[in-house]
A and B are shown apart, each in its own frame.
Chain A
Amino acid sequence: MKSLLRQHRYALVVTLRRLWAQPISSLTNLLVIALALTLPLLGASFLISIEPVARQVSLTPELTLFLKTDAANGVADKLATRIREEHAGQIVKVRVIPKQRALEELRANPAWEQALKVLPVNPLPDAIVVELAPGDDLAKRADQMAASWRTWQGIDIVQLDSAWVQRLEALLRFGRIGLLLLALSVMLVVLATVFNTVRMQALSQREEIGVARLVGATESFVRRPFLYLGALTCSLATLISFGVAHLTLAPLNDALAALARTYDTEFALSLPAPSILVVSVLIVAALGALSARWSVQRNTRF
Chain B
Amino acid sequence: MIEFQHVFKSYGQGRNILADISFRVTAGEFVYVAGPSGAGKSTLLKLIGGLETPSRGSIQVNGHRLEQLSARARPYLRRSVGVILQDTHLLYDRSAIENVLLPLTVTGLASDVARARARAALDKVGLSTKENTPPIELSGGEQQRLAIARAIVNRPAILIADEPTASLDRETARRIMSVFKDFNRVGVTTVIASHDDALMAEYATRAFKIEPGKFADSAARRSSTATTQTSGPGYQEPQIGGAAR
Contacts and interface: CB of A to CB of B under 8 A. Distances in A.
A3 B108 CA distance: 4
Interface in B94-112: 102-103, 105-111
A222 to B, nearest CB: 9
Interface in A208-246: 208, 210-219, 221
A211 B106 contact: no
Contact of B78 (A3, A207, A210, A215): A215
A300 B120 CA distance: 33
Contact of B103 (A4, A7, A216): A216
Contacts of B102: 211-212, 215
Q: How large is the interface on B (under 10, 10 to 19, 20 to 34, 35 or more residues)?
A: 20 to 34
B103 A6 contact: no
Interface stretch (B57-65, B83-91, B197-205): B83-91
Given A211-B89, A214-B85, A215-B106, A6 B111 contact: yes
Interface in B47-93: 51, 71-72, 75-79, 83, 85, 89-91
Interface residues of A, number: 19
Contact of A215 (B71, B72, B154): B154
A2 interface: yes
A10 interface: yes
A2 B106 contact: no
B150 interface: yes
- Highest count of chain B CB atoms <10 Å: which of A7, A208, A210, A216: A216
Contacts of B78: 213-216
B154 A216 contact: yes
B108 A218 contact: no
A7 B76 CA distance: 15
- At the interface, is chain A mostly helix, strand, loop or mixed? helix
A3 to B, nearest CB: 3
Contact of B75 (A6, A210, A211, A217): A217
B82 to A, nearest CB: 9
A214 B91 contact: no
Contact of A218 (B72, B103, B111, B150): B72
Nearest to B92: A207
B91 A218 contact: no
A94 B25 CA distance: 102
B106 A214 contact: no
Closest 10 CB pairs of A and B: A3-B108, A216-B79, A215-B103, A216-B78, A217-B106, A218-B75, A6-B108, A216-B75, A7-B108, A211-B89
Given A7-B108, A211-B89, 17 more contacts: A3-B108, A6-B108, A6-B111, A7-B106, A208-B91, A211-B90, A211-B91, A211-B102, A213-B78, A214-B83, A215-B78, A215-B106, A216-B106, A217-B75, A217-B106, A221-B75, A221-B106
